[in-house]
Amino acid sequence: MRNETKHYINGEWVESTGSETIDVINPATEEVMGKISSGTEEDLDKAVKAARAAFPSFSRSTKEERIQWLKNIAEGYEKRKEELISVMTDELGAPLTVSEEVHYPMGLGHFQQAADSLADFSFSEDRGGHTLLKESIGVSGLITPWNFPTNQASTKIASAIAAGSPVILKPASKTPFAAIILAEIIDEAGVPKGAFNLVNGSGSVIGNGISSHPGIDFVSFTGSGTVGEKIMKNAAETIKKVALELGGKSPIIVLDDADVEEAAKTALSNIMNNTGQVCSAGTRVFIPQSMKQSFEESLLDQLSNFPVGDPRKEGIAMGPLVSEDQWETVQSYIKKGEKEATLLTGGTGKPEGLDTGYYAKPTIFTDVSNDSVIAQEEIFGPVTTVITYDEVDEAIEMANATVYGLAGYIVGKDPETIKYVASNIRAGRIKVNGEKTDFNGPFGGFKQSGIGREWGDFGIEEYLEIKSVHGMPSS
């Protein structure tokens, strides 16, 4: 049992001003695994004051100092590897292999990448008629989701430190413990007091507080579109900058020269990875009509390679959904899908033998219409849809027929066709034939998938303001 009822404010672990706590549930056992404090507006205000007090000196820190802090954090992160893997498996339900091979390295990679990007980053530029300066935006509020406990927190924190922006982090209350470990790591890394603060609590109190607090200059949020809309409305009252990474209904376009087995593997990986709880998951598979039967046969054949079960057992590819609420949401979409399309495999209920835990069946619908509910709304679970096309332009048109635009996937061989499709999908990130993620590549979406970018130098830019100086004396 973890009882982490303190907040990290101004370089110290302090008691909350309130007495309420929030239970954290292990989704594989449905048991309480720990408690966190339900922070108050007063707790948040203390953190904001600490960050504002730290801003003058932190924003003027040197590149060398910031690089060293980022390297120190990365080193501390590596020392806590086993603990991070274990806690993410318990609080999120990610299989141990997923925690080790996906979640852990993503968190580490952002701190390493930010240090590398910062080394080549220029905060001033002589443009002839004026000098361009890039300066810290001020105090930043970071609101992170439960589905990637270290990835989202790490990319925001790393970029903020690189830019010299003090932060207040509010991690998701469903998966707070990895963020608390991050705070411990940052505490030991020599980051100045007040430059990093963590306040746990509910979205209604701390999340709303961050987006509306007049002492916060910038809000970076990852989560649902509904909450993103609320944050924008709150932030508008003080005209603060907002960056949003929201939902997705990303397409996988399988070209007619693709290897069917590779295409099926890509599709299954997208719905199995993190139990489908991925904003950039490819949940609409567009397959040539002529390949439909062989593709579906390969899907069913390969499904045995992705076993569902206890995330602490060896060989498990997919664990439970994060909560009972999320399980109920996914079940409701599967019920809708059964009325709209043909169920190829899966369906409602829990997999056989998994009565305890928020487990869902990997579910694939075929004969799906692109305008159906299951093809248009983000389900955030292990559910995918198979949609056929005749011509590649038809696939592109359907791929873009969504309010979202976060990611896209292409499986095929012909270079020119791949380039054509990649350049015409309206989304922020395209991955071709399972290419490995580059931590320097910006991440963010078009349309209702968000505003702004994270990762790499684009991530650092989000935490900076632009100043032009005309008549700057030469040195």
Contact 409, 267 (CB under 8 A): no
279 has catalytic annotation: yes
C-alpha–C-alpha distance, residues 242 and 262, integer Å:
39
Residues, the chain: 475
Token reading at 82: 């086993």
- The DSSP string of 389-418 is ESSHHHHHHHHH-SS--SEEEEE-S-HHHH
Percentages of the chain per state (helix, strand, coil), in multiples of 5? 45, 20, 35
Exposure string of 295-321, with b = 16+ CB inside 10 Å and e = fewer, is bbebbeeebeebebbbbeeeebbbbbb
Number of H helices, E strands in the chain: 16, 21
- What is the DSSP-derived secondary structure letter of residue 447? G
Give the CA distances from residue 427 to residues 273, 408, 423, 431, 441, in Å, rounded to whole numbers and listed in that order: 20, 6, 9, 11, 14
The one catalytic residue among 4, 91, 100, 279: 279
The one catalytic residue among 4, 91, 245, 378: 245
Contact 167, 195 (CB under 8 A): yes
Other C-beta atoms lying within 10 Å of the C-beta of residue 238: 13
| Residues near 29 by beta carbon (within 8 Å), at least 6 away in sequence | 356, 357
Provide the Cα torsion 306, 307, 313, 319; round to 10°. 80
245 has catalytic annotation: yes
Neighbour order of strands in the sheet with 363-366: 342-345, 363-366, 383-389, 282-288, 250-254, 407-411, 429-432
Amino acid identity of residue 275, one-letter, is T
Residue positions annotated with a catalytic role: 245, 279
